[in-house]
Amino acid sequence: MSYSLQMYCRMVLHRVGCHLLKKTHNALGPPIRRGGAVYSGACGFREEEIREKLQAFPGGSINLVKQESGIALMTINNPARMNAFTGTMMLELQDRVSQLEEWTEGKGLIVHGAAGTFCSGSDLNAVRAISNPQDGMKMCMFMQNVLTRLLRLPLISVALVEGRALGGGSELTTACDFRLMTEGSEIQFVHKHMGLVPGWGGAARLVRIVGSQNALKLLAGARKVDTDYGERIGLSDGTVTLQSAESTALGEAEKWVSAFTKGPAPVIRAVKKVVLSGRELPLEDALRTEKDVFGTVWGGPANLEALARKPKHK
């Protein structure tokens, strides 16, 4: 077979493969599997290309502490820039999410910012440098993959908002199951002021959190969301108040999430998995996933221990 005919056949097979992948994806709903990315090579996403570009914008870090309690702490750490995301911080976020996907004892996650503020979105210096549509789209697909995987972690996740969460920072808060805000903090989708719409998946997730009318107000109005407004529209799940001189917002957030992570890790992780499938999948696919997850805990150690504790009925 001539080379050009070979190349033509490969191209046809590639297109058919991509088309079938999309059809399967649409028929079965999102692939909720560990590392469930949205974009892959099959659909023309070349991750290596954007990784190289992002590598060129250093600064800051994403720190991760996996605690004995089963609750991990992730810190967006670039205080000189209000914790804005540099290119290397986007890459580090991906690495931290991969680490959390491998953490089998994990039950909870708190995402917070360094130095008393959350995150002011993409680093504007990096944004200026990759402002051409092609690179912007690649950064968008990269961050959508990372934040989708963050939200799909089998951990109960909380974004602790102190200070400000702006632009991509506000989108990051929507990639957690819950949001807690401290007094005086603000979440603001400033994208409109940048001539943008969210690109990291924040709009799709915001509609599912607050409904389409509230999402329109927050995006088209670039409205500042304070603690009261946040709780009223359901964007915030609670306002963190310090209970004593020694207490910290992070400590209060850990207490809050501990109420949901108390218990054996396999059970807490199973709870997140069944809620995740209920949130993302069409009903019958969600029921099948629930059946599969149920099968992992029914008759498991935690179930048998609970039964042993129950007094036998005469």
Ligand X SMILES: C[C@@H](C(=O)O)C(=O)SCCNC(=O)CCNC(=O)[C@H](O)C(C)(C)COP(=O)(O)OP(=O)(O)OC[C@H]1O[C@@H](n2cnc3c(N)ncnc32)[C@H](O)[C@@H]1OP(=O)(O)O
Residues that bind ligand X (CB under 6 A): 81-82, 84, 120-125, 127, 164, 166-168, 171, 190-191, 194, 196, 198-200
Name the minimum Å distance from CB 230 to ligand X.
18
* Residue 53 or 66 having the CB closest to ligand X: 53
289-to-157, 263, 299 alpha-carbon distances in Å: 21, 22, 18
Strand 186-188, strand 224-225: pairing: antiparallel
- Whichever of 108 and 121 has its CB closer to ligand X, that residue is 121
108/167 with CB nearer ligand X: 167
Is the Cβ of residue 93 or residue 270 nearer to ligand X in the bound state? Answer: 93
Q: How far is the CB of 297 from ligand X (least distance, A)?
A: 38
Closest separation between CB of residue 176 and ligand X, Å?
16
In whole angstroms, how close is the CB of 135 to ligand X at the nearest point?
12
Taking the complex as a whole, the smallest distance from the CB of residue 89 to ligand X amounts, in Å, to 11
Residue 170 CB, nearest distance to ligand X (Å)?
8
Closest to ligand X by CB, 84 or 110: 84
Q: How far apart are CA 90 and CA 134, in angstroms?
A: 18
Q: Which is nearer to ligand X, 50 or 293 (CB)?
A: 50
